[in-house]
Amino acid sequence: MGETKQAGVLRLGLTLAAFAAAACVALAFVYQGTKGKIAENQQKELQAALGALFSEADQFPPAADMPESPDSAVSFEEAYEARQDGELIGMALRVSRGSYGGPLKVLVGVSAGGTITGVRILEHQDTPGLGANAASPSYFVDRSRGITFTGQFREKPVSDPFEVKTDVEAITASTITSRAVADAVKAAGRAAASYLGDNR
């Protein structure tokens, strides 16, 4: 009786293992089949974001060299030149900075004239209704002028302090997120301005 029970348990275990292996193989096939489409969609989203930061640019080649971050808390992941008819008119940096809920990924555009052309929050894990407002198009730091949290950085000189509650309006009850974005934009702005100055 004991052996029959053990054989049943073994048979059940083998059956479950076979189903698990089949599921893993099926998932691998699905991943392989969709991997290309996912990469294609990510590339389209990136091009759309770059176009929003530099509407006049017609090319976004990867930067020849990755600028060095002036802030050890901010890491640079990707860098793109913005070109119009071959002329270097700006740079976009994809940067990462720790925030309240984890890494915050931001795309920052910087003009050759040394101003921020725009900021796009790409990824965040901050609290909905609080830190997540950094990416919300309906959260305004100045409702009367229609200025969103990220919108306040547009046309801001890279030489500004980028200090929350000084020259950067904070998200209500989310100073950590506000500071993370401000630090990311400041680091990207200064590094891009240096790169643009060296490559003009």
What pTM was estimated for this model as a whole?
0.80
Residues 81 and 15 occupy one common structural domain: no
Place of tokens 């950067």: 168
Decide if 64 is inside a domain: no
Residues 86 and 156 occupy one common structural domain: yes
Decide if 105 is inside a domain: yes
Q: Which domain does 26 fall in, by range?
A: 1-53
Residues 6 and 88 occupy one common structural domain: no
Decide if 66 is inside a domain: no
Residues 87 and 27 occupy one common structural domain: no
Kindly report, residue by residue over 11-27, the tens digit of the pLDDT: 877 787 777 777 667 67
Would you state the torsion angle of the CA atoms of residues 41, 185, 192, 84, taken in this order, to the nearest 10 degrees?
Answer: 50
Residues 23 and 96 occupy one common structural domain: no
Kindly report, residue by residue over 18-65, the tens digit of the pLDDT: 777 776 676 767 667 676 777 677 678 888 999 999 999 999 999 989
**Kind of pairing between the strands at 140-142 and 103-111:** unpaired
